[in-house]
Amino acid sequence: MHRQSLIEQLNNYAVRYPKEDVVHSFLKFVMDEPDCFKRELTNGHITGSAWLVNSDGSEVLLTHHRKLDRWLQLGGHADGESDVLAVAIKEAEEESGLTRITHIGSGIFDIDIHPIPARHNEPEHLHYDIRYVLRADGCTEYTVSDESHDLRWVKPEEVETLTTEPSMMRMVAKWKSLRADLF
């Protein structure tokens, strides 16, 4: 079953973060929707995102997303790929131009379910976003892609100068508590 790996990762996430109610809705979606990784699934689909930190974890790379006009983590659609970590790495590379990116930490860092407004021929739908901690291991000079207005390395305590979106603030809090264990 192509969803089994993600289901196992979500179950492990639920053990680490038992107070996050969203994991149950997320699991139900993945178990109920065989095509959950396909963008064509109009009620919602899986996306993979990167909490991309620099080599010592002191800064995170954020994008000022062109379509949503908000500061967010890097990421994008799974487009049928069930290896969501590979999706997060690919999206981070494509959106930043960075080439030496590795996964650090243990499994999923964060999950979020959020609405995406209707646009052109796409109806409003949900993104079931899986987020991983990734590290830029080489040069941190980025290239702004067509998907962004801008990119910026930001200290976690300064993220709130760009956004106070609850899921971003939740990742900042998680990173502040996790960073000491990884660096």
Beta bridge partners of 101: 136
Query: Does residue 57 carry a pLDDT above 60?
Result: yes
CATH code (residue 160): 3.90.79.10
Q: What φ, ψ does residue 86 adopt, rounded to 5°?
A: -60, -35
> What's residue 182's pLDDT?
86
Query: Does residue 122 carry a pLDDT above 90?
Result: no
Query: Does residue 165 carry a pLDDT above 60?
Result: yes
Which tokens is 120 given?
């052109």
> What's residue 121's pLDDT?
84
Beta bridge partners of 47: 77, 129
The whole-angstrom distance between residue 38's C-alpha and the CA centroid of its chain comes to 17
Query: Does residue 3 carry a pLDDT above 90?
Result: yes
| Dist. CA 86–CA 78, nearest whole Å | 9
pLDDT digits (tens, 9 = 90+) for 85-118: 999 999 999 999 999 999 998 899 999 999 988 8
Under the banding of pLDDT at 50, 70 and 90, the label for residue 1 is: low
- The answer to whether the beta carbons of residues 46 and 6 sit under 8 Å apart is yes
Q: Measured over all CA atoms, what is the biggest interatomic distance in the chain, rounded to whole angstroms?
A: 45
- The candidate with the shortest Cα–Cα distance to 69, out of 163, 171, 141, is 163
- The answer to whether the beta carbons of residues 59 and 172 sit under 8 Å apart is no
> What's residue 62's pLDDT?
97
pLDDT digits (tens, 9 = 90+) for 19-49: 888 999 999 999 999 999 999 999 999 999 9
The total number of structural domains in the chain stands at: 1
Domain that holds residue 88: 4-182
Which tokens is 177 given?
């508590």
